[in-house]
Chains A and B, each alone.
Chain A
Amino acid sequence: MQSKNNISKAATLMVAALLFYSFTTIYVLSAKDWKKIEKNAKAIFNTEVLNFSEIENIQNLGATRFFKINDLGYLAFDQAPSKFHKFEYYVIFSNKADILKVEVLNYNENYGVEICNKRWLKQFQYINTSSFFSFNNSIDGISGATLSVQSISAHSWKVTEKLKTYLKLK
């Protein structure tokens, strides 16, 4: 009987998990995505050995995924809307939640694709994250990519806020 109960419990949990999963769309990082992230993280932290450990006890995690990178910094992986679709991007942070890098991994339409420009994304490096006003104000607009610029700005700021709360930096 006990084993039967365990089976039913397990089944309940599995069904609940499946149902929960059907509500949240969690993007699965591909091997290609990881390769890009690792390459950049190695260059940023000047190390060959990287260990990513996922952090799950962050408040209001939503669809964002956080990883601790050795004892050197953090990685956040997130999705944000462009004009018609969603794009995937990641942020590498220092231990103090300074933004060291933002890169777009996949962009699914032509509208607003200009935000993938690496030189444009460089302006996020060590950007002032004390308030959304100053953060948003220091990001240059791109003609024809208004919605995607707004989107990556707002989302990367939110991600930074989540990490800061977790690190008790605010």
Chain B
Amino acid sequence: MPLLIISLNKNKKMKKTAVFIMLIALFNSVNAQNSAEKIISGNSGLHIGGYGQVDFNLVSREGTVHKNGTLDIHRLVTFLGYNFNEKTSFVSEIEFEHVTEVYVEQAFLDYKIKSNLSVSAGLMLIPMGIQNLYHEPSTFNGVERTNVDKYIVPSTWREIGIALNGRSIEHSVNYQAMLVNGFNGFDEGGVFSGQSGLRRGRQKGAKSYITYPDFAARVSYYGHLGLNLGFSAYVGDSESKAYDGLDLADETAVATADSTMIGIQMIGVDARYTKGALQLRGQYIVANLSNTNQYNTKTENDLGSKLTGYYAEAGYNLLEGKNTTEELIAFVRYENYNTHAEVESIAIIDAYNRTDITIGLGFKVAKGAMFKADYQIKSNAGSDEKTGQFNFGTAVLF
């Protein structure tokens, strides 16, 4: 462009030409803005979105004992993504939980190798089951997420690593394979427990540490109309701070460190089916943990050696066929999650074998906006008592 402007003042016509070019150049330079200006002026490479849920939970009275209700902005997540070019994009999700806690849920750079294959690196969701990947509240029935996806799959489960994401449209298949850092199983003491399983060991990308990487993969098939089938697997060892600074020549120290980690093999199968007004979904997850005997002895915890969880849910859109885009979904779900399905050398605690039955309504007023109400009956194998809980919530995704 400077070459063309040199010819300025040769004659009037050329002057006009040059001015015109300069104007275009000026217009173009406006386009070279900083990121804040890009957001303001609208930029095709920038994606902004979000999701959130505001909940009201009310536990039933136990006899004459009153329980207060809770009202909470359970989560509010802003999504920011940027496409640098056709091949390269960045994805991030910043989450506010219960107003005061801030987390980063996803933050990764994705590079397209081919049109059906990309590699990504950064903080990513572990591809296990339905809700860890599809955790936006308007995508599931019920105010709260399923407890299988809290106690067995510790949603939102995300760690830092590198992943391959691929798909074959021809075969209606997509897959993901990932190397990530594992759970923190031992720092000042044992982190895993019988009650909450692996949940407290999530490192979430916050100064996480690694001894060996773990492997996660998922394949899903959507070739049959209305049906989506998923198969997920996760294998690896938990991380332990006992290995940091460990002298590998010291056999006693190595043996002690070895007793602070566990091996994890988690497998999940899931299915979602929609036909007309009917929606069905189900999921089964099993986690086999090794070395729990040594781990429990060392940490004085009560971690189970097998964790299982499943749910089956049926929903029906009562407004199907009516002249409206709104949906009123009535649903029922049966859910069992057991963090003591099997144990090694400790007593099974039946209270960790828990069952929730949920019945409720979801009023989808727009695609991505819902009002929800449900009632949950919670029980466990260690007691004959059942507790009831009402939940009301608003859910959005955009």
Contact = CB atoms under 8 A, between A and B. Distances in A.
Task: Decide whether A and B are members of one complex.
Answer: yes
Interface of A: 1, 4-5, 8-9, 11-12, 15-16, 19, 22-23, 25, 81, 84-86, 104, 106-110, 113-114, 116-117, 119-120, 133, 136-137, 140-144, 146-147, 149-150
Given A141-B274, A143-B272, A144-B134, A106 B167 contact: no
Given A84-B89, A110-B174, A144 B228 contact: yes
B325 interface: yes
Contact of B368 (A9, A104, A146): A146
Given A85-B83, A137-B325, A144 B28 contact: no
A100 B202 CA distance: 50
B268 to A, nearest CB: 15
Contacts of B166: 110
A141 B364 CA distance: 12
B222 A110 contact: no
B128 to A, nearest CB: 14
> Across chains A and B, which 10 residue pairs bring their CB atoms closest together, nearest first?
A119-B225, A114-B222, A144-B134, A116-B169, A110-B174, A143-B272, A106-B115, A8-B17, A84-B81, A113-B174
Given A84-B47, A149-B367, 11 more contacts: A12-B17, A15-B1, A15-B21, A19-B28, A22-B28, A25-B44, A84-B110, A136-B325, A141-B367, A143-B134, A146-B138
B389 interface: no
A86 B86 CA distance: 9
B397 interface: yes
B118 A109 contact: yes
B367 A146 contact: yes
Interface of B, secondary structure class, is mixed
Interface string B161-179: 0000111010010111000
A9 B166 CA distance: 48
A149 B89 CA distance: 21
B157 to A, nearest CB: 17
A143 B115 contact: no
Contacts of A149: 367
A95 B274 CA distance: 34
In which size bucket is the chain B interface? 35 or more
Interface in B185-230: 222-223, 225-226, 228
Contacts of A137: 323-325
B118 A16 contact: no
B166 to A, nearest CB: 8
Contact of A146 (B81, B91, B139, B175): B139
B13 A104 contact: no
Nearest to B47: A84
B39 interface: no
Contacts of B274: 140-143
Given A8-B17, A84-B47, A146-B368, A117 B115 contact: no
A119 B223 CA distance: 8
A147 B367 CA distance: 9
Contacts of A5: 13-14
A26 to B, nearest CB: 12
B91 A116 contact: no
Nearest to A122: B225
B167 A113 contact: yes
A144 B273 CA distance: 11
Given A15-B4, A81-B47, A84-B47, A143 B174 contact: no
B325 A84 contact: no
Nearest to B364: A141
B20 interface: yes
Nearest to A133: B325
A154 B321 CA distance: 21
Contacts of B323: 137
7 contacts: A11-B4, A15-B4, A23-B31, A107-B169, A114-B222, A140-B274, A146-B368
Contacts of B24: 15-16, 19
B279 interface: yes
B368 to A, nearest CB: 6
B46 to A, nearest CB: 11
Given A12-B20, A107-B169, A144-B272, A117 B225 contact: yes
Contacts of A107: 116, 167, 169
Nearest to A150: B367
A136 B167 CA distance: 27
A12 B15 CA distance: 12
Contacts of A144: 130, 133-134, 139, 228, 272
Interface in B319-376: 323-325, 367-368
Interface in B267-285: 272, 274, 276, 279, 281
A142 B220 CA distance: 14
A113 B89 contact: no
